[in-house]
Amino acid sequence: MATTSPLPADTGPIDGPDAACLAALRNQPPRPLAAVLGLSPTLSLGDGDLQLFDCRDRWPSPHTPPLQEHLVLVVLQATGAAQSWLPGEAPQARELTPGGVLLLPAGEAAWLRLPASHHVLLLGLRPRLLYGPARTVFRLRACAGRADAVVEGIARALWAAATPGAAAQDLALHLARALGSHLRAHHAQDAAPARTGLGQLRLRRVLDHLHARLDQPVDLAEAARVAGCSVSHFAHLFKASMGVAPMRYLREQRMLRARELVETTQLSMCEIALRVGIPEPAQFSQAFRAHWRTPPSLLRRRG
């Protein structure tokens, strides 16, 4: 699932700490991310297993002590270069672009300085949220200067779901589990090498194309033309990039959009069905119940 790609090249050497400074940081006991940031989470799930922080033009000291949680930083906007020194990486400075992702494993120290103007989402994930089969230990691989469309999309969806109410919490938990599965598969220290997929730019064009047409009949031939390949090759590359076949991805996105409309609008179920490309209300209700394990009308009453 090749969903990562390099961001722009280094902009120059960083003016960061020496190795002795990082060694002193590593000797500190792990601290909660919220305490290091000095911020209250915008969204908190479970018993604090996942916390989301909306960080605008604010960043603590670049000296980041070991954290109790895995840190996932997703760039929404930034002007200028970020400087970082992560475990296993050389010191570097890179221009930030939307979709850029930084990963710092729990228990690891780092040095990170963001540009003065920035808007980033920070996800703190307790290690137990990412346990694999039979509660195997998940070891995150530190990295910076990468773009990951899946992590970016889930972070933005969690940000949008950060509203009061049990229904929003249910959706956020669903997204959190999807994020955990993706991180285990593609950002673990022992993850298998990424398979060849569409590539970041082609994947973004295809996803934008599909999301703009959730209310229309599926035309994989048109999506394949956007990707610049045959239909059969497109299906193979899409699954290598996203981990699911194009049709399943479309079904999941339609159900996510349907749930958003059920919870946040007063549109009739017939109108919502049309907006997610299912013209028959009975078929829509059946698909919604199968996906979310509750009928849309009951979910609206709960909300």
Residue-wise pLDDT for 184-219, tens only, equals 878 877 644 444 678 777 888 888 888 888 898 888
The tokens 């919490």 sit on which residue? 169
User: pLDDT tens digits for 116-146?
Assistant: 899 999 999 888 777 655 455 567 888 886 7
Q: 21-25, 69-73, 75-79, 143-147: lowest mean pLDDT where? A: 21-25
**Local structure of residue 267 (DSSP, 8 states):** -
- Segment 95-104 shows an average pLDDT of 85
Delimit the domains of the chain by residue range. Answer: 4-186, 195-210+219-243, 246-303
Superfamily of domain 246-303 in CATH is Homeodomain-like (1.10.10.60)
Tokens of 98: 């939307």
- Distance separating alpha carbons of residues 31 and 108, to the nearest angstrom: 11
- Beta-sheet strand order (sheet of 81-85): 63-64, 110-113, 81-85, 92-95
pLDDT for residue 78? 85
Residue type, 221: A
The single-letter code of the amino acid at 255 is M
What per-residue confidence (pLDDT) applies to 166?
A: 53
**pLDDT for the residue 134:** 47
Question: How much is the pLDDT for 168?
Answer: 67
> How many residues does the structure list for the chain?
303
User: Is the per-residue pLDDT at 102 higher than 80?
Assistant: yes
Q: How far is it, in rounded angstroms, from Cα 86 to Cα 114?
A: 14
Give the CA-trace dihedral at 14, 108, 51, 84, to 10 degrees. 10
pLDDT of residue 4: 36
* Average pLDDT in the chain: 81
For position 167, what pLDDT does the model report?
57
SS3 letters across 100-144: EEEEECCCCCEEEECCCEEEEEEEEECHHHHCCHHHCCCCECCEE
HSE-up (13 A, CA, CB side) for residue 258: 34
Phi/psi at 95 (5° precision): -65, 135
| Chain centre to alpha carbon of residue 149 | 7
The rounded distance, in Å, linking the Cα atoms of 177 and 31 is 24
Nearest to 231 by CA among 219, 215, 243: 219
Q: For residue 11, is pLDDT > 50?
A: no
Which of 124, 126, 151, 154 minimizes the C-alpha distance to 53? 124
Q: What are the start-end ranges of the H helices in 40-141?
A: none
- 258 burial type by CB count under 10 A (0-12 exposed, 13-18 middle, 19+ buried): buried
- Residues 52, 156 contacting (CB under 8 angstroms): no
4-186 is classed CATH 2.60.120.10: yes
Q: pLDDT band at residue 3, thresholds of 50, 70 and 90?
A: very low
For 256-283, what is each residue's pLDDT tens digit? 889 889 888 889 999 999 999 998 889 9
